[in-house]
């Protein structure tokens, strides 16, 4: 094995994945595949021993950490207690509300992190919060918010909720960090006051990763057009700023060492102000390897640098594999820095074609993860990145110059001029269903990753670019065919999805391309779940929305949350006045028409529908219980027990005319 760093990083990362995700039949299948590829490649025994040691170390470290630390902390979920923690992270929300990450001692374990959502403190980094009589709760993932994975990747496993009292102790112990946080907020405010709303939010996201108040419609359009990745502080941002700084230092003729030191100091400050995303940390490590190679007059290698960065991050944090940002950053870097250049090695005089192929390779590398985490991916990203990335990079440089100079140079007008066409074009592109690809469901993820494994196997066995390209094209075509078949099958069936969390409940009935939406809880987050479900299933028109509680406020929430969806008719449970709508009717207890119906009794109430998806009645209630689906016309009698949290949120039942049904947890 010529480059042992790559093998060590790959084996260590694989060990973490096997310890965390690959269990049961998946463990055996993947292990057999890896063992087969190792035999085919004829890896030397000493290299094989090194891979085994790295894999075993990662597996043992992850399981040990889980048993002696994670399980012990999570076992406290549901218990009452006190917690005195120093504030290490602050995420501000509207008004005076903030999410504080506290670090302290819990159950005899030191350095435990918990979160607390509170207001009225105006706290700073380093202050201590004393929480008395709080309830510790573990984080969980749901259909929209993957809170467990997000916080777990940061070493946070519990939240402290509903304390009897919360007192703040001022310490003034983190002056530098508080100064950076204050400067960050000042610059974000300057961005938004000096530019219009959309471009101000856009450049705030690019420079600092700040997405508070970001219009969800604009975010969706940017991701569907393929340039949404510029809103996450990652390799692009770190690379652009590092190149800019090193070019400046080179003109000042400071030698080789001083520019490297100054660059690291400024990069540390920049990443700190961006709240230290793991993708930016990965990029900064890679850049350090590149520039340190120049200092010591060595040849740098992108693949080795990427492997070293992955190994350093995973050794320091065994739960980094739960971070979608980390995995997407690594795969994108591999695509643009390793796989793309490999596939275009013979494109010596065709620069545009080479760039297009590299962008395509990068998009294909992140394709499986995009489907897994977002349920959709852009199909036009190779083209849009070639067109829009230079504009975004130039705007990013201008934003960085503005921040570095304290807002002295008037460069934001030019940045706004560069970003306007990107936003406008993305909005137009995202409205075309052919520009993005949706393939929802757990089975779709399994299919895509299985096909990706086939492509990797073909490349490892044959190591020929044409065959690798052919395998990629065949795999992508297979995904499209499977999606079309699945979509046709689903479109012909009646589907009932219950979405939300807690009191944010809604039901969506879809049949032959039509959708009927029923808000059942009356809380403002329900449209977020409905929007994701409709987007994943490619539905842009809703026949009707029925509001059953808090109608005026929910009408506003759905109008704001479902902007990409055309709603043809609105119903309320009673005669009420809703400002701004002439197309809203009182439904009372009857909606649609009567006939052979399907009765769905669930913990949030009762819903009746016929075979064609027409709703007969909606009766919300506060009773909790199991889900029962029954009805003579459908020949179904389904009982689904409550989950461990007492609810049955975020699931879908597909009912077929021949009497079959399929239950799917979303």
Q: Does pLDDT of 571 surpass 80?
A: no
Pick 433 or 40 by higher pLDDT: 433
Please give the CATH architecture assigned to the domain spanning 80-173: Beta Barrel (2.40)
Least confident of 11-25, 313-327, 454-468: 11-25
Q: What angle do CA 351, 357, 359 make, to 5 degrees?
A: 100
Containing 312, the helix (H) or strand (E) segment is: helix 302-316
Amino acid 414: pLDDT: 92
Mean pLDDT calculated for residue range 377-403: 87
Q: Does pLDDT of 595 surpass 50?
A: no
Edge-to-edge strand list for the sheet holding 544-547: 584-586, 570-572, 544-547, 514-519, 504-511, 494-501, 651-655, 661-665
Q: Does pLDDT of 586 surpass 80?
A: no
HSE of 388 in the Cβ direction (CA atoms, 13 Å)?
Answer: 23
Q: Is 548 helix (H, G, I), strand (E, B) or coil?
A: coil
Under the banding of pLDDT at 50, 70 and 90, the label for residue 461 is confident
Q: Whole-angstrom Cα distance, residue 7 to residue 399?
A: 39
Q: Does pLDDT of 612 surpass 60?
A: no
Q: Whole-angstrom Cα distance, residue 656 to residue 666?
A: 19
Q: Is 523 helix (H, G, I), strand (E, B) or coil?
A: coil
Amino acid 115: pLDDT: 92
pLDDT in tens, 203-233: 888 888 777 767 777 888 888 888 888 777 7
Under the banding of pLDDT at 50, 70 and 90, the label for residue 103 is very high
Under the banding of pLDDT at 50, 70 and 90, the label for residue 633 is very low
Under the banding of pLDDT at 50, 70 and 90, the label for residue 22 is low
pLDDT in tens, 281-297: 888 888 888 777 777 66
Q: Does pLDDT of 621 surpass 50?
A: no
Under the banding of pLDDT at 50, 70 and 90, the label for residue 435 is confident
Give the domain ranges of the chain.
4-74, 80-173, 178-438, 443-489, 492-665
Amino acid 657: pLDDT: 62
Pick 4 or 317 by higher pLDDT: 317
Amino acid 636: pLDDT: 43
CB atoms < 10 A from the CB of 169, how many? Answer: 11
Mean pLDDT calculated for residue range 286-315: 81
User: Considering only CA atoms, which of 345, 347, 383 is closest in space to residue 363?
Assistant: 383
CB atoms < 10 A from the CB of 248, how many? Answer: 14
pLDDT in tens, 57-70: 988 998 898 888 89
| Stated pTM of the model | 0.84
Q: Does pLDDT of 536 surpass 90?
A: no
């Amino acid at each position: 094995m010529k480059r042992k760093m790559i093998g060590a990083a790959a084996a260590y990362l694989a060990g973490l994945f096997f310890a965390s995700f690959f269990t049961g039949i998946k463990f055996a299948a993947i292990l057999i595949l890896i063992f087969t590829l190792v035999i085919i490649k004829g890896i030397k025994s000493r290299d094989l021993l090194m891979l085994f040691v790295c894999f075993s170390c990662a597996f043992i470290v992850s399981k040990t950490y889980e048993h002696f630390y994670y399980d012990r902390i999570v076992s406290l979920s549901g218990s009452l207690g006190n917690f005195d923690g120093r504030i290490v992270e602050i995420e501000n929300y509207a008004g005076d509300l903030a999410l504080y990450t506290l670090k302290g001692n819990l159950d005899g374990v030191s350095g435990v992190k918990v979160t607390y959502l509170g207001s009225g403190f105006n706290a700073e980094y380093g202050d201590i919060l004393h929480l008395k009589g709080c309830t510790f709760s573990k984080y969980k993932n749901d259909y929209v918010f993957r809170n467990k994975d997000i916080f777990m990747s940061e070493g946070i496993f519990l939240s402290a909720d509903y304390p009897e009292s919360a007192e703040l102790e001022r310490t003034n112990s983190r002056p530098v960090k508080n100064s950076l946080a204050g400067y960050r907020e000042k610059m974000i405010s300057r961005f938004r006051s000096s530019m219009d709303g959309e471009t101000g939010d856009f450049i705030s996201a690019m420079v600092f990763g700040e997405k508070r108040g970001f219009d969800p419609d604009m975010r969706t359009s940017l991701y569907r057009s393929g340039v949404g990745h510029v809103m996450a502080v990652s390799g692009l941002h770190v690379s652009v700023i590092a190149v800019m700084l090193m070019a400046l230092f080179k003109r000042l003729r400071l030698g080789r060492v001083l520019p490297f030191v100054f660059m690291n100091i400024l990069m540390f400050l920049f990443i700190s102000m961006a709240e230290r995303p793991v993708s930016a940390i990965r990029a900064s490590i890679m850049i350090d390897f590149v520039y340190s190679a120049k200092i010591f007059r060595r040849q740098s290698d992108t693949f080795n640098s990427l492997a070293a960065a992955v190994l350093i991050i995973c050794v320091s944090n065994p739960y980094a594999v739960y971070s979608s940002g980390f995995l997407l950053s690594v795969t994108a870097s591999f695509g643009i820095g390793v796989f793309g250049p490999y596939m275009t090695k013979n494109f010596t005089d065709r620069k545009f074609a080479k760039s297009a192929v590299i962008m395509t390779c990068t998009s294909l590398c992140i394709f499986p993860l995009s489907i897994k985490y977002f349920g959709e991916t852009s199909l036009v990203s190779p083209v849009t990145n070639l067109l829009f990335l230079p504009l975004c990079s130039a705007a990013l440089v201008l934003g960085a110059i503005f921040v570095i100079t304290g807002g002295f140079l008037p460069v934001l007008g030019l940045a706004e001029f560069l970003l306007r066409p990107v936003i406008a074009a993305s909005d137009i592109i995202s409205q075309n269903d052919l520009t993005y690809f949706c393939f929802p469901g757990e089975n779709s993820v399994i299919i895509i990753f299985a096909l990706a494994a086939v492509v990797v196997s073909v490349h490892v066995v044959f190591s020929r670019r044409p065959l690798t390209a052919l395998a990629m094209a065949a795999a992508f075509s297979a995904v499209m065919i499977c999606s079309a078949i699945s979509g046709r099958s689903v479109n012909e069936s009646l589907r009932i999805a219950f979405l939300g969390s807690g009191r944010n409940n809604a039901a969506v009935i879809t049949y032959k391309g039509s959708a009927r939406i029923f808000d059942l809880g009356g809380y403002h987050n329900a449209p977020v779940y409905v929007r994701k479900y409709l987007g994943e299933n490619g539905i842009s028109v809703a026949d009707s929305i029925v509001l059953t509680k808090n109608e005026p406020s929910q009408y506003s929430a759905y109008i704001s949350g479902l902007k990409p969806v055309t709603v043809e008719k609105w119903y309320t449970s009673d005669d009420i006045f809703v400002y701004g709508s002439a197309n809203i009717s009182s439904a009372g207890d009857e909606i649609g028409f009567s006939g052979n119906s399907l009765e769905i009794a669930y913990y949030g109430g009762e819903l009746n529908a016929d075979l064609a998806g027409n709703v007969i009645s909606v009766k919300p209630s506060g009773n909790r219980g199991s889900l029962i689906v029954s009805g003579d016309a459908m020949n179904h009698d389904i009982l689904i027990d409550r989950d461990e949290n007492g609810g049955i949120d975020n699931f879908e039942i597909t009912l077929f005319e021949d009497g079959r049904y399929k239950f799917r947890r979303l």
